[in-house]
Chain A
Amino acid sequence: MRLPRFLAKKRGNRRTGSQAWGSFAEGIFYAILLAAGVVFGLLLVTGAANYAPADPDSVVLQRGYEWWMWLLTLLIPLALLAFGGSGLARVVRMWGKSLEHRAAAGGSAILDSLSSPESDTPHHPGLPSCENIENSPGTVLRYRLALESPENWSLVGFGMFAILWNAVVVVLAVGAGADLLGGTTDWFLIAMLIPFVSVGVGGVVLLVRAVILATSVGPTQIEISDHPLVPGATYDVLLGQGGASVFRSIDMVMEMEESATFRQGTDTRTQRLVVRRQPMAGWRRVQPVPGGRFEARVAVTIPRDSMHSFASESNAVQWRIVVRAIPDRWPEFTRVFPVVVCPSPAATVYPLAEPGEPG
């Protein structure tokens, strides 16, 4: 067995150091967590950790904890026990097993890939689920695609920031106000409040702006004649764009995007890259019907040699219909509608060949 290295590289399931030493170190880590949970839990339960905070020399004979206080106090030891115990059990279960053995023991759905070929929904290992895409019927075409808009996440982010920041501001302001009412003036607290209030007001302004942008241009809807998509096939796509304002341009494209999630130090990052962009249609100077919406029906063909959609834990290939529009009086917006592209049906299915025979 190779001696352990102090510094070793690890990427996914591969590591430059010894697999056995890596598992051993992992086991030690979980064992320490488990032991810490046991020790802290016992100390708390037996009362050995109790002391009088005001007078450490005094022994506290009677614990005044309510049941919920006990629950709260034991939360950390219980979490340590659960995390350490489950981790240690996993290390013991996987000890001495190869990467392939571990992956197979992990209950890979791939092993079942050939078990239900007659299913109505074609089952393709490694493809993302179509469930969220096919659960909404369209008004004209068969399916209405679900929206995955980056603007919505910006809205959530601005909202969370504005709420949390202004909660802190309110707490500080109440403290400063109470001081003023009590006849004392804490100038440091008041000076600190000024930049905090400024940032809080800025956060609210950004949130209001984001809400106006998200609601003023009207909803975008995409309907499609069939799903999942297959390379070489052609589909009808219906675009519906609501809103009262004039659009300088609306463009619809089909994109294929790769995404890779990786760890950099303690951060987990995801890189996305569009590797295929296929224009579907474009319109200039669009004026939606008053009280209605702009509608256009186009056909799209998935190229025959396309890669299918793919999703694993850290890597993905995603197909999506992207609508980019520039309203006359508002900033440009992008709305994304994911779709799933299946592998094209196998052109040739070879018969069962005896082992060793040329296929």
Chain B
Amino acid sequence: MMRLSDQGIPSEDPRPRGNNRPAPFPRIELRFGHSGRDYQPMEWLTVEYSIGGLEGERLRALERSILWYTEGKGEEDMGIHFFERFTTPAAVAGQVPDGTLAVQLPTSPLSYEGVIVKIRWCVRLRVFFESGRDHVSEHVFTVGRVPPSIPPP
């Protein structure tokens, strides 16, 4: 298993609570079920994740998604390949603090490192707290093996 560092992004700033204790900053670790983060089209992507640092704060919902998005000069486009949302307490408890995910990847689009257009694939985990805050963690992987583009002279 390859252990990747959490690239967590708080969607809202953690603000001090009544007793001056800061809101929890979740620590989400994700392990790809593969010797690397390089996958082929139609291959099964399996991941295990663990969510820590909740400090007793209750979760309202959990979202798990696998998607591609574009980067570069243009506006960001996004395509959702897999999306799952857990909202009931029992369903959330079944997926937190540890959970697994297995999804077959599509044939396209492949990850691409262009000059003004880039395509990235990622797994996103988003937790929603009872307080209204949410926290997203993004873990990038690649689909296919397309070499980076270099503009011709």
Contact = CB atoms under 8 A, between A and B. Distances in A.
A321 interface: no
A260 B67 CA distance: 20
Contacts of B70: 12, 312, 314-315
B83 A11 contact: no
B55 interface: no
B4 interface: no
Interface string A314-355: 111100000000000000000000000011001111111111
B136 interface: yes
B24 to A, nearest CB: 16
B117 interface: yes
B64 to A, nearest CB: 9
Nearest to A316: B117
A260 B74 contact: yes
Interface in A115-149: 122, 124-127
Nearest to B32: A359
B144 A315 contact: no
A314 B73 CA distance: 10
A356 B109 contact: no
A108 interface: yes
Nearest to B134: A98
A260 B33 contact: no
Interface string B109-153: 110101111010000101000001010100000001111011110
Given A125-B106, A259-B117, A358-B34, A276 B149 contact: yes
B65 interface: yes
Q: Which size class do A's interface residues fall under?
A: 35 or more
B75 A261 contact: yes
B41 A343 contact: yes
Interface stretch (A33-41, A51-59, A99-107): A99-107
B80 A110 contact: yes
Interface in A240-289: 256, 258-263, 271, 273-277
Interface string B40-51: 111111111000
A66 interface: no
Contacts of A350: 40, 43-44
Q: Which size class do B's interface residues fall under?
A: 35 or more
A336 to B, nearest CB: 17
**Main SS of the interface on chain A?**
loop
B108 interface: yes
B75 A104 contact: no
B107 interface: yes
A355 B46 contact: yes
Given A313-B75, A355-B102, A19 B11 contact: yes
B76 interface: yes
B76 A11 contact: yes
Given A11-B75, A100-B83, A359 B34 contact: yes
Given A108-B80, A275-B114, A358 B35 contact: yes
Interface in B7-41: 11-13, 33-35, 39-41
A204 interface: no
Given A100-B63, A343-B107, A273 B116 contact: yes
B79 A312 contact: yes
The 4 closest A-B pairs by CB, nearest first: A12-B76, A260-B74, A355-B100, A126-B109
Given A2-B12, A275-B149, 16 more contacts: A13-B76, A98-B126, A98-B136, A100-B65, A110-B81, A111-B82, A125-B107, A126-B119, A127-B108, A258-B116, A312-B79, A314-B70, A314-B76, A315-B77, A315-B117, A316-B117
11 contacts: A13-B76, A104-B80, A114-B104, A256-B149, A259-B116, A314-B75, A317-B114, A349-B40, A353-B33, A353-B44, A358-B1
